Amino acid sequence: MTVQGSIKGALLAALLLFAGAGAKFAHAEMQGVSDDAIKIGMHTSQSGPIAVFGLTYERVARLVFDEVNAAGGINGRKIDLIVEDDRGDPGAGVAAATKLLDRDEVALIYGGPYTPVALAVFPRVIDRGVIYWSPAASTPTLTDPFRKLTFQAQMTLDDQAIPVAKLAASFSPSKIAFVRENNEYGTITHEAVVAELAKYDLKIDVEETIDPGAVSAVAQIAKIKEAGADVVLHGGTPKALSHIIREAHKQGLTAPMISFGGGSSDAIFELVSSEAPIEYYAVSPLACQLGDACTAEFMEKWTARYPDQKPLVWTAQGYAAAKLFVEGLRQAGRDLTQEGLIAAFETMPEFSTSEIPYPMKFKPDNHRAINGGYLDGFKNGEHYFFGDSIDN
Protein backbone atom coordinates (compact mmCIF):
# COMPACT_ATOMS: atom_id res chain seq x y z
CA MET A 1 0.00 0.00 0.00
CA THR A 2 1.40 3.44 -0.96
CA VAL A 3 1.52 6.39 1.44
CA GLN A 4 -1.27 7.99 -0.59
CA GLY A 5 -3.30 4.79 -0.29
CA SER A 6 -2.70 4.67 3.46
CA ILE A 7 -3.87 8.24 3.86
CA LYS A 8 -6.97 7.50 1.78
CA GLY A 9 -7.64 4.38 3.86
CA ALA A 10 -7.20 6.29 7.11
CA LEU A 11 -9.51 9.08 5.90
CA LEU A 12 -12.10 6.54 4.82
CA ALA A 13 -11.89 4.75 8.15
CA ALA A 14 -12.22 8.07 10.00
CA LEU A 15 -15.17 9.01 7.82
CA LEU A 16 -16.87 5.69 8.51
CA LEU A 17 -16.20 6.03 12.22
CA PHE A 18 -17.53 9.58 12.18
CA ALA A 19 -20.58 8.53 10.21
CA GLY A 20 -21.18 5.67 12.60
CA ALA A 21 -20.78 7.91 15.59
CA GLY A 22 -23.01 10.47 13.91
CA ALA A 23 -25.70 7.89 13.30
CA LYS A 24 -25.39 6.70 16.87
CA PHE A 25 -25.58 10.30 18.10
CA ALA A 26 -28.68 10.90 16.00
CA HIS A 27 -30.31 7.84 17.62
CA ALA A 28 -29.18 8.93 21.04
CA GLU A 29 -30.72 12.34 20.50
CA MET A 30 -34.21 10.90 20.57
CA GLN A 31 -34.97 8.84 23.61
CA GLY A 32 -37.23 5.86 23.23
CA VAL A 33 -35.81 4.88 19.85
CA SER A 34 -33.85 1.65 19.53
CA ASP A 35 -32.75 -0.37 16.54
CA ASP A 36 -35.96 -2.31 16.41
CA ALA A 37 -38.60 -0.24 18.24
CA ILE A 38 -39.89 3.23 18.91
CA LYS A 39 -41.65 3.81 22.21
CA ILE A 40 -44.75 5.99 21.97
CA GLY A 41 -46.26 7.15 25.26
CA MET A 42 -50.00 7.78 25.39
CA HIS A 43 -51.96 9.36 28.22
CA THR A 44 -55.68 8.86 27.90
CA SER A 45 -58.78 8.64 30.05
CA GLN A 46 -59.25 4.95 30.75
CA SER A 47 -61.49 6.06 33.60
CA GLY A 48 -63.22 9.27 34.68
CA PRO A 49 -65.82 11.50 33.04
CA ILE A 50 -64.80 10.88 29.44
CA ALA A 51 -63.49 7.34 29.59
CA VAL A 52 -65.83 6.53 26.73
CA PHE A 53 -63.68 8.78 24.50
CA GLY A 54 -60.36 7.99 26.16
CA LEU A 55 -60.76 4.27 25.64
CA THR A 56 -61.86 4.61 22.05
CA TYR A 57 -58.70 6.58 21.15
CA GLU A 58 -56.53 4.01 22.89
CA ARG A 59 -58.23 1.10 21.16
CA VAL A 60 -58.02 2.64 17.72
CA ALA A 61 -54.34 3.55 18.23
CA ARG A 62 -53.64 -0.08 19.13
CA LEU A 63 -55.60 -1.21 16.07
CA VAL A 64 -53.52 0.91 13.68
CA PHE A 65 -50.14 0.42 15.38
CA ASP A 66 -50.59 -3.35 15.68
CA GLU A 67 -51.46 -3.51 12.00
CA VAL A 68 -48.31 -1.54 11.18
CA ASN A 69 -46.22 -3.81 13.41
CA ALA A 70 -47.71 -6.93 11.84
CA ALA A 71 -46.61 -5.58 8.44
CA GLY A 72 -43.00 -5.20 9.64
CA GLY A 73 -43.15 -1.85 11.46
CA ILE A 74 -41.97 1.56 10.28
CA ASN A 75 -38.53 1.78 8.72
CA GLY A 76 -37.59 -1.47 10.45
CA ARG A 77 -38.92 -0.48 13.88
CA LYS A 78 -42.00 -1.72 15.68
CA ILE A 79 -44.22 0.77 17.52
CA ASP A 80 -44.23 0.07 21.25
CA LEU A 81 -47.32 1.87 22.59
CA ILE A 82 -47.25 2.47 26.34
CA VAL A 83 -50.53 3.77 27.76
CA GLU A 84 -51.15 5.49 31.09
CA ASP A 85 -54.55 6.38 32.55
CA ASP A 86 -54.98 10.13 33.11
CA ARG A 87 -58.40 9.51 34.77
CA GLY A 88 -59.72 12.69 33.13
CA ASP A 89 -57.85 14.54 35.85
CA PRO A 90 -55.19 17.15 35.00
CA GLY A 91 -52.97 16.19 37.95
CA ALA A 92 -53.15 12.51 37.07
CA GLY A 93 -52.43 13.44 33.45
CA VAL A 94 -49.24 15.28 34.40
CA ALA A 95 -48.17 12.32 36.56
CA ALA A 96 -48.89 9.94 33.67
CA ALA A 97 -46.83 11.99 31.21
CA THR A 98 -43.96 12.34 33.70
CA LYS A 99 -43.90 8.58 34.20
CA LEU A 100 -43.95 8.00 30.43
CA LEU A 101 -41.09 10.43 29.84
CA ASP A 102 -38.90 9.57 32.83
CA ARG A 103 -39.45 5.90 33.52
CA ASP A 104 -40.53 4.55 30.15
CA GLU A 105 -38.37 7.05 28.24
CA VAL A 106 -40.80 7.33 25.37
CA ALA A 107 -39.87 9.17 22.18
CA LEU A 108 -42.95 11.37 22.16
CA ILE A 109 -46.36 11.75 23.76
CA TYR A 110 -49.49 10.75 21.85
CA GLY A 111 -52.15 12.72 23.73
CA GLY A 112 -55.57 11.86 25.05
CA PRO A 113 -58.89 13.56 24.38
CA TYR A 114 -59.81 15.51 27.51
CA THR A 115 -59.19 19.25 27.14
CA PRO A 116 -58.43 20.01 30.83
CA VAL A 117 -55.87 17.20 30.88
CA ALA A 118 -54.29 18.13 27.55
CA LEU A 119 -53.96 21.75 28.71
CA ALA A 120 -52.11 20.63 31.84
CA VAL A 121 -49.89 18.05 30.16
CA PHE A 122 -48.69 19.53 26.89
CA PRO A 123 -46.66 22.49 28.31
CA ARG A 124 -44.71 20.08 30.53
CA VAL A 125 -43.98 17.79 27.60
CA ILE A 126 -42.79 20.46 25.21
CA ASP A 127 -40.73 22.10 27.97
CA ARG A 128 -38.69 18.91 27.89
CA GLY A 129 -38.16 19.33 24.16
CA VAL A 130 -40.45 16.41 23.37
CA ILE A 131 -43.20 16.33 20.73
CA TYR A 132 -46.82 16.34 21.97
CA TRP A 133 -48.85 14.82 19.13
CA SER A 134 -52.57 14.78 19.75
CA PRO A 135 -55.03 12.75 17.68
CA ALA A 136 -57.80 13.59 20.12
CA ALA A 137 -57.73 16.85 22.10
CA SER A 138 -59.88 19.59 20.64
CA THR A 139 -58.58 22.57 22.57
CA PRO A 140 -57.38 25.27 20.15
CA THR A 141 -54.69 26.30 22.66
CA LEU A 142 -52.67 23.24 21.70
CA THR A 143 -51.69 24.75 18.36
CA ASP A 144 -52.72 28.39 18.68
CA PRO A 145 -50.42 30.21 19.22
CA PHE A 146 -48.17 28.15 17.00
CA ARG A 147 -45.75 25.84 18.81
CA LYS A 148 -43.07 23.84 17.07
CA LEU A 149 -43.51 20.77 19.27
CA THR A 150 -47.29 20.35 19.31
CA PHE A 151 -49.29 18.65 16.57
CA GLN A 152 -53.05 18.26 16.45
CA ALA A 153 -54.98 15.89 14.18
CA GLN A 154 -58.36 16.70 15.64
CA MET A 155 -61.07 19.25 14.93
CA THR A 156 -60.48 22.07 17.37
CA LEU A 157 -63.36 23.57 19.32
CA ASP A 158 -62.95 26.72 17.18
CA ASP A 159 -63.57 24.60 14.12
CA GLN A 160 -66.42 22.74 15.79
CA ALA A 161 -68.11 26.05 16.59
CA ILE A 162 -68.43 26.74 12.85
CA PRO A 163 -71.06 24.05 12.04
CA VAL A 164 -72.69 24.54 15.48
CA ALA A 165 -73.26 28.26 14.83
CA LYS A 166 -74.18 27.66 11.20
CA LEU A 167 -76.92 25.19 12.10
CA ALA A 168 -78.11 27.37 14.99
CA ALA A 169 -78.38 30.36 12.63
CA SER A 170 -80.33 28.27 10.11
CA PHE A 171 -83.16 28.03 12.66
CA SER A 172 -83.41 31.85 12.71
CA PRO A 173 -83.65 31.80 16.49
CA SER A 174 -85.00 34.64 18.57
CA LYS A 175 -83.27 33.42 21.73
CA ILE A 176 -80.30 31.09 22.06
CA ALA A 177 -79.42 29.22 25.24
CA PHE A 178 -76.02 27.77 25.98
CA VAL A 179 -75.33 25.11 28.61
CA ARG A 180 -71.65 24.70 29.33
CA GLU A 181 -69.88 22.34 31.63
CA ASN A 182 -67.96 23.82 34.58
CA ASN A 183 -64.48 23.24 33.20
CA GLU A 184 -62.06 24.44 30.53
CA TYR A 185 -63.90 22.46 27.86
CA GLY A 186 -67.12 24.33 28.64
CA THR A 187 -65.35 27.67 28.76
CA ILE A 188 -63.58 27.18 25.43
CA THR A 189 -66.72 25.97 23.67
CA HIS A 190 -68.51 29.03 25.01
CA GLU A 191 -65.86 31.44 23.73
CA ALA A 192 -65.72 29.69 20.37
CA VAL A 193 -69.46 29.70 19.80
CA VAL A 194 -69.86 33.34 20.89
CA ALA A 195 -67.30 34.32 18.22
CA GLU A 196 -68.99 32.24 15.53
CA LEU A 197 -72.54 33.36 16.37
CA ALA A 198 -71.40 36.98 16.08
CA LYS A 199 -70.79 36.33 12.38
CA TYR A 200 -74.56 35.79 12.03
CA ASP A 201 -75.38 38.75 14.32
CA LEU A 202 -76.50 36.31 16.95
CA LYS A 203 -75.66 36.11 20.62
CA ILE A 204 -76.30 33.84 23.56
CA ASP A 205 -79.31 35.03 25.55
CA VAL A 206 -79.54 32.38 28.26
CA GLU A 207 -76.35 31.16 29.93
CA GLU A 208 -76.44 28.01 32.03
CA THR A 209 -73.75 25.83 33.54
CA ILE A 210 -73.72 22.22 34.68
CA ASP A 211 -71.28 20.21 36.75
CA PRO A 212 -69.78 17.20 34.89
CA GLY A 213 -70.86 14.99 37.81
CA ALA A 214 -74.37 16.49 38.18
CA VAL A 215 -77.29 14.14 38.77
CA SER A 216 -79.97 16.42 37.39
CA ALA A 217 -80.46 19.34 34.99
CA VAL A 218 -83.98 20.22 36.07
CA ALA A 219 -83.17 23.80 37.06
CA GLN A 220 -81.19 24.56 33.92
CA ILE A 221 -83.90 23.29 31.58
CA ALA A 222 -86.68 24.98 33.56
CA LYS A 223 -84.86 28.32 33.23
CA ILE A 224 -84.20 27.82 29.53
CA LYS A 225 -87.85 26.98 28.96
CA GLU A 226 -89.01 29.93 31.02
CA ALA A 227 -86.74 32.25 29.01
CA GLY A 228 -88.30 31.01 25.77
CA ALA A 229 -85.07 29.91 24.09
CA ASP A 230 -85.69 28.32 20.71
CA VAL A 231 -82.23 26.79 20.19
CA VAL A 232 -80.12 25.18 22.91
CA LEU A 233 -76.35 24.84 22.44
CA HIS A 234 -74.21 22.57 24.60
CA GLY A 235 -70.51 22.32 25.36
CA GLY A 236 -69.74 19.38 27.61
CA THR A 237 -69.49 15.64 28.10
CA PRO A 238 -72.03 12.79 27.81
CA LYS A 239 -72.83 12.12 31.49
CA ALA A 240 -74.14 15.59 32.30
CA LEU A 241 -75.58 15.89 28.79
CA SER A 242 -77.78 12.85 29.40
CA HIS A 243 -79.53 14.79 32.20
CA ILE A 244 -79.99 17.82 29.98
CA ILE A 245 -81.56 15.68 27.25
CA ARG A 246 -83.81 13.76 29.66
CA GLU A 247 -85.00 16.97 31.30
CA ALA A 248 -85.60 18.67 27.96
CA HIS A 249 -87.78 15.74 26.92
CA LYS A 250 -89.54 15.60 30.30
CA GLN A 251 -90.29 19.31 30.50
CA GLY A 252 -91.43 19.40 26.88
CA LEU A 253 -88.69 21.73 25.65
CA THR A 254 -89.07 21.58 21.88
CA ALA A 255 -86.06 23.72 20.96
CA PRO A 256 -83.46 21.80 18.93
CA MET A 257 -80.25 21.05 20.80
CA ILE A 258 -76.83 21.30 19.15
CA SER A 259 -73.78 19.96 20.90
CA PHE A 260 -70.06 20.19 20.36
CA GLY A 261 -68.18 16.93 19.77
CA GLY A 262 -68.34 15.95 23.43
CA GLY A 263 -72.01 15.18 22.87
CA SER A 264 -71.36 12.66 20.16
CA SER A 265 -71.43 9.31 21.95
CA ASP A 266 -73.26 6.05 21.42
CA ALA A 267 -75.14 6.28 24.73
CA ILE A 268 -76.38 9.78 23.84
CA PHE A 269 -77.48 8.76 20.33
CA GLU A 270 -79.27 5.77 21.85
CA LEU A 271 -81.01 8.07 24.33
CA VAL A 272 -82.25 10.60 21.75
CA SER A 273 -83.37 7.87 19.39
CA SER A 274 -85.35 6.01 22.04
CA GLU A 275 -86.69 7.25 25.37
CA ALA A 276 -85.89 10.97 25.03
CA PRO A 277 -86.59 11.67 21.35
CA ILE A 278 -85.67 15.33 21.18
CA GLU A 279 -84.26 17.09 18.11
CA TYR A 280 -80.54 16.72 18.68
CA TYR A 281 -77.36 17.29 16.66
CA ALA A 282 -73.68 16.90 17.52
CA VAL A 283 -70.50 17.78 15.67
CA SER A 284 -68.97 14.97 13.64
CA PRO A 285 -65.48 15.01 12.11
CA LEU A 286 -66.47 12.43 9.50
CA ALA A 287 -67.23 12.75 5.80
CA CYS A 288 -70.35 10.62 6.20
CA GLN A 289 -72.52 9.01 8.83
CA LEU A 290 -70.62 6.38 10.81
CA GLY A 291 -71.23 3.03 9.15
CA ASP A 292 -71.71 4.51 5.68
CA ALA A 293 -69.28 4.09 2.78
CA CYS A 294 -66.60 6.54 3.97
CA THR A 295 -66.01 4.44 7.09
CA ALA A 296 -66.25 0.99 5.46
CA GLU A 297 -62.53 0.17 5.77
CA PHE A 298 -62.43 1.36 9.36
CA MET A 299 -65.61 -0.48 10.33
CA GLU A 300 -64.35 -3.74 8.87
CA LYS A 301 -61.08 -3.57 10.80
CA TRP A 302 -62.68 -2.30 13.99
CA THR A 303 -65.36 -4.99 14.04
CA ALA A 304 -62.76 -7.69 13.43
CA ARG A 305 -60.62 -6.46 16.33
CA TYR A 306 -63.31 -5.29 18.78
CA PRO A 307 -66.49 -7.19 17.93
CA ASP A 308 -68.20 -6.21 21.20
CA GLN A 309 -67.31 -2.52 21.13
CA LYS A 310 -69.43 -0.01 19.27
CA PRO A 311 -67.26 2.66 17.65
CA LEU A 312 -67.99 6.39 17.90
CA VAL A 313 -67.54 8.96 15.17
CA TRP A 314 -64.39 9.92 17.09
CA THR A 315 -63.10 6.37 16.79
CA ALA A 316 -63.14 6.67 13.03
CA GLN A 317 -61.49 10.10 13.29
CA GLY A 318 -58.87 8.60 15.64
CA TYR A 319 -58.27 5.90 13.02
CA ALA A 320 -57.57 8.53 10.36
CA ALA A 321 -55.35 10.48 12.78
CA ALA A 322 -53.35 7.37 13.69
CA LYS A 323 -52.79 6.63 10.00
CA LEU A 324 -51.53 10.20 9.52
CA PHE A 325 -49.19 9.78 12.49
CA VAL A 326 -47.79 6.54 11.10
CA GLU A 327 -47.24 8.13 7.71
CA GLY A 328 -45.31 11.01 9.32
CA LEU A 329 -43.10 8.54 11.18
CA ARG A 330 -42.48 6.70 7.94
CA GLN A 331 -41.54 9.86 6.10
CA ALA A 332 -39.08 10.82 8.84
CA GLY A 333 -36.91 7.88 7.80
CA ARG A 334 -34.82 5.58 9.95
CA ASP A 335 -32.54 8.21 11.49
CA LEU A 336 -35.08 9.65 13.85
CA THR A 337 -34.54 12.94 15.65
CA GLN A 338 -37.13 15.32 17.07
CA GLU A 339 -36.12 17.88 14.43
CA GLY A 340 -36.29 15.33 11.63
CA LEU A 341 -39.67 14.15 12.79
CA ILE A 342 -41.04 17.68 13.03
CA ALA A 343 -39.73 18.43 9.52
CA ALA A 344 -41.28 15.21 8.20
CA PHE A 345 -44.73 16.08 9.57
CA GLU A 346 -44.48 19.65 8.30
CA THR A 347 -43.41 18.73 4.80
CA MET A 348 -45.34 15.54 4.19
CA PRO A 349 -47.86 15.89 1.34
CA GLU A 350 -51.60 16.18 1.93
CA PHE A 351 -52.86 12.97 3.46
CA SER A 352 -56.29 11.87 2.34
CA THR A 353 -58.41 9.24 4.02
CA SER A 354 -61.97 8.32 3.21
CA GLU A 355 -63.10 8.95 6.81
CA ILE A 356 -62.28 12.68 6.98
CA PRO A 357 -63.93 15.12 4.57
CA TYR A 358 -60.82 17.15 3.76
CA PRO A 359 -57.19 16.05 3.22
CA MET A 360 -55.10 16.37 6.36
CA LYS A 361 -52.02 18.58 6.19
CA PHE A 362 -49.55 20.05 8.68
CA LYS A 363 -47.65 23.14 7.59
CA PRO A 364 -44.41 24.70 8.90
CA ASP A 365 -46.49 27.50 10.46
CA ASN A 366 -49.66 25.55 11.28
CA HIS A 367 -49.69 22.23 13.11
CA ARG A 368 -53.42 21.57 12.79
CA ALA A 369 -54.15 18.82 10.32
CA ILE A 370 -57.95 18.76 10.37
CA ASN A 371 -60.00 21.76 9.40
CA GLY A 372 -63.76 21.66 9.27
CA GLY A 373 -66.38 19.09 10.11
CA TYR A 374 -70.01 18.20 9.87
CA LEU A 375 -73.06 17.48 12.04
CA ASP A 376 -74.80 14.26 12.89
CA GLY A 377 -78.14 14.03 14.67
CA PHE A 378 -81.67 12.87 15.23
CA LYS A 379 -85.05 14.45 14.64
CA ASN A 380 -88.30 12.56 15.24
CA GLY A 381 -86.29 9.37 15.59
CA GLU A 382 -84.72 9.82 12.13
CA HIS A 383 -80.95 9.99 11.73
CA TYR A 384 -79.70 13.09 9.88
CA PHE A 385 -76.23 13.95 8.61
CA PHE A 386 -75.30 17.44 7.48
CA GLY A 387 -72.35 17.81 5.13
CA ASP A 388 -71.07 21.06 3.64
CA SER A 389 -74.55 22.44 3.13
CA ILE A 390 -76.42 22.83 6.38
CA ASP A 391 -80.09 23.29 5.83
CA ASN A 392 -82.54 22.17 8.48
Partner 1 sequence: MLSQVLVNGVVIGCIYALIAVGFTMIYNATETVHFAVGESVMIGAYFLLTFWIVWDLPYLVALALTLLSAGAFGYAVYDRMVSRPLMSAGLLPRVVGLMGMAAIMKGLTRIIWGADAYHLPSALSTDPVRIGPIFIVPQEILIVVVTVAIIGLLFLFFQHTKLGTAMRATSQSRRAATLMGVNISVVFAATWVIGTILSAIGGVLLGPLLLVDPDMGELGIKSFTAAVLGGFGSLPGAIVGGILLGVSENLVAGYLRADWQNAATFVLMITVLAIRPTGLFGKPDKARV
Let me know: does 321 contact 136? Beta carbons within 8 Å: yes
Residue 223 interacts with partner 1 (CB under 8 A)? Answer: yes
3-state secondary structure of 289: coil
The interface region with partner 1, picked from 191-199, 267-275, 335-343, 346-354 by CB under 8 A, is: 267-275
Is the Cβ of residue 51 or residue 231 nearer to partner 1 in the bound state?
A: 51
Residue 303 interacts with partner 1 (CB under 8 A)? Answer: no
Is the Cβ of residue 16 or residue 267 nearer to partner 1 in the bound state?
A: 267
Residue 249 interacts with partner 1 (CB under 8 A)? Answer: yes
Residue 172 interacts with partner 1 (CB under 8 A)? Answer: no
Q: How far is the CB of 228 from partner 1 (least distance, A)?
A: 13
Up-side HSE of residue 313: CA atoms within 13 Å toward CB? Answer: 30
How far apart are the C-alpha atoms of 267 and 379, rounded to whole Å? 16
How big is the site for partner 1, counted in residues (CB under 8 A)?
41
Q: Report the site for partner 1 in 274-293 (rule: CB under 8 A).
A: 274-276
Phi, psi of 149 (to 5 degrees): -100, 0
Amino acid occupying residue 304: A
Is the Cβ of residue 54 or residue 328 nearer to partner 1 in the bound state?
A: 54
- Cα separations in angstroms, 387 against 357, 374, 376, 384: 9, 5, 9, 10
Is the Cβ of residue 213 or residue 359 nearer to partner 1 in the bound state?
A: 213
Phi, psi of 356 (to 5 degrees): -100, 140
- x/- letters, 41..80, toward partner 1 (CB under 8 A): -----xxxx-xx-xx-------------------------
Q: How far is the CB of 186 from partner 1 (least distance, A)?
A: 10
Measured from the Cβ of residue 25, the count of other Cβ atoms closer than 10 Å reads 11
Q: What does the CA dihedral 316, 318, 320, 323 come to, rounded to 10 degrees?
A: -140
| For residue 145, cis peptide bond before it (omega within 30 degrees of 0) | yes
- Cα separations in angstroms, 117 against 232, 242, 265: 27, 22, 20
Residue 311 interacts with partner 1 (CB under 8 A)? Answer: no
Residue 251 interacts with partner 1 (CB under 8 A)? Answer: yes
Residue 187 interacts with partner 1 (CB under 8 A)? Answer: no
Q: How far is the CB of 242 from partner 1 (least distance, A)?
A: 5
Per DSSP, 149 falls in state T
Q: How far is the CB of 18 from partner 1 (least distance, A)?
A: 52
Contacts of 91 (CB under 8 A, 6+ apart): 120
- Residues in contact with partner 1 by CB under 8 A are 46-49, 51-52, 54-55, 182, 208-211, 213-216, 218-220, 222-223, 226, 238-239, 242-243, 246, 249-252, 265-267, 270-271, 274-276, 309
